[in-house]
Amino acid sequence: MKQDAPTLQQLLNSAGIKRRFEELLDNSAPSFISSILTIVRSNSKLQDCSPNSVLSAAGIAAALKLPINPSLGFAYIVPYKNTAQFQIG
C-alpha cells in the first residue's frame, strides 16, 4: 500500500525541519514558519505545488535572511508548473 506524502503542515511540524529553520533564523524561526503557511494558504497555485519544493524555496529565503511576506517585496515563493521556486524581490 502506497503511503501518502507528508503535507506541508506535517513537514513544518517535524523536529528536523524546525531545527533547521532555527539554525538559520534563531528566534525568528517560528514567525517565518508561520509566514510559509500563510503564503501557501492564500495562494491556490502554491497549494498545488509539492510541499518539498515549498520548503526548498523557503529554505533559500531563510538562508539569505530574507522575509517572504509578499507585501515586503524582499523574496517570493512562486509557483511554476506545480513546483514552488524562490525568487528574489
What is the domain partition of the chain in residue ranges? Answer: 8-88
| Average pLDDT estimate for 31-41 | 95
In three state form, how does the secondary structure of the chain look?
A: CCCCCCCHHHHHHCHHHHHHHHHHHHHHHHHHHHHHHHHHHCCHHHHCCCHHHHHHHHHHHHHCCCCCCCCCCCEEEEEECCEEEEEEC
- What does pLDDT average to over the chain? 93
Lowest mean pLDDT among 4-18, 51-65, 73-87: 4-18
